Amino acid sequence: MAVETLPARTPVRPAPTRSGPTPRWRSKETLAAWLFILPSLIGFLVFTAGPVVAAGVISLLNWNLFSSPTFAGLKNFARLGPDPTFWSALGNTVYFTFVSVPLTILVSLALALLLNQGLRRIAVFRSLLLLPYATITVAVAFVWIWLYIPQDGLVNAVLGWFGISGPAWLISDDWAMPALIAMSVWKSFGFGMVVFLAGLQAIPQQLYEAAKVDGSSAWQTFRSVTLPMLSPSLFFVVVTSIIGSFQVFDQALIMTNGGPGSRTTTLVMYIYRTGFENYDQGYAAAQSLVLFGFIVVITAAQFVLQRRLVHYDN
Partner 1 sequence: MSPELSRRGFLKYTGLAGAAAASTGLLSACSSTPSGAATWAMWSSSPAERKVWSDFSNYVERQLQVESIPTLTPSGGYPTKLDLQLVSGTAGLVTALNGTLIPTYAARGAHRPLDDLIAADPDFDPADFYPAIQKISTFNGRTYAIGFDVAPTVLYYNKTLLAKAGIAAPSPTEPMSWETFRDLAKELTRPPDQYGFTCAPAIDDLVSWIYCAGGNVMSQDGSRSILNAPEAESAIQFVIDLFVRDKVTPPIRNLVTESSLSNFMEGNVAFMQNGPWQVVNVRKAKFDWDVIPFPAGAAGSTPRVSGSSFAIPAGVKGEKLDLAWRLLKTLTSAGALDIYAKAGRNNPARRSAGSAFKPPPDNLGVVQDILAGKVAGGHPYDVTTNWNQVRQLLGQDLPRTFLGQVAVPETLDGLTPRLDVLMKQHQDNVRQAEARKG
- CB of residue 168 to partner 1, shortest distance in Å: 8
CA distance 247 to 258: 14
* CA distances for 28 relative to 31, 39, 42, 249, angstroms: 5, 18, 21, 45
CA distance 41 to 62: 31
CA atoms within 13 A on the CB side of 104: 32
Closer of 95 and 125 to partner 1 (Cβ): 95
Q: Which of 53, 138, 164, 297 binds partner 1 (CB under 8 A)?
A: 53
Q: Which of 31, 37, 54, 139 binds partner 1 (CB under 8 A)?
A: 54
Which helix (H) or strand (E) segment is 71 a member of?
A: strand 70-71
Closer of 221 and 262 to partner 1 (Cβ): 262
63 sits near partner 1 (criterion: CB under 8 A): yes
Residue by residue, DSSP assigns 119-169 as: -TTHHHHHHHHHHHHHS-HHHHHHHHHHHT-TTT-HHHHHHHHTT-----G
CA distance 269 to 111: 32
Residues between 162 and 201 that touch partner 1 (CB under 8 A): 168, 170-171, 173
Number of neighbours of residue 71 by Cβ within 10 angstroms: 9
- CB of residue 150 to partner 1, shortest distance in Å: 6
136 sits near partner 1 (criterion: CB under 8 A): no
143 sits near partner 1 (criterion: CB under 8 A): no
CA distance 74 to 61: 9
Kindly tell me the burial class for residue 203, based on how many C-beta atoms sit within 10 Å of its own C-beta (0-12, 13-18, 19 or more).
middle
Nearest alpha carbon to residue 116 among 203, 218, 188: 203
237 sits near partner 1 (criterion: CB under 8 A): no
> Of the ranges 21-29, 42-50, 101-109, 159-167, which one interacts with partner 1 (CB under 8 A)?
42-50
Q: Which of 21, 50, 91, 204 binds partner 1 (CB under 8 A)?
A: 50
> Of the ranges 50-58, 158-166, 206-214, 217-225, which one interacts with partner 1 (CB under 8 A)?
50-58
Closer of 220 and 257 to partner 1 (Cβ): 257
220 sits near partner 1 (criterion: CB under 8 A): no
78 sits near partner 1 (criterion: CB under 8 A): no
70 sits near partner 1 (criterion: CB under 8 A): yes
Give the x-and-dash track for 270-309 against partner 1 (CB under 8 A). ---x--xxxx------------------------------
Q: How many residues bind partner 1 (CB under 8 A)?
A: 47
CA distance 92 to 90: 5
> Of the ranges 186-194, 236-244, 257-265, 295-303, which one interacts with partner 1 (CB under 8 A)?
257-265
81 sits near partner 1 (criterion: CB under 8 A): no
239 sits near partner 1 (criterion: CB under 8 A): no
> Of the ranges 17-25, 203-211, 219-227, 249-257, which one interacts with partner 1 (CB under 8 A)?
249-257
CA distance 53 to 289: 10
CA atoms within 13 A on the CB side of 72: 23
**Residues within the interface to partner 1 (CB under 8 A):** 45-47, 49-54, 56-58, 61, 63-71, 142, 145, 148-151, 168, 170-171, 173, 254-262, 265, 273, 276-279
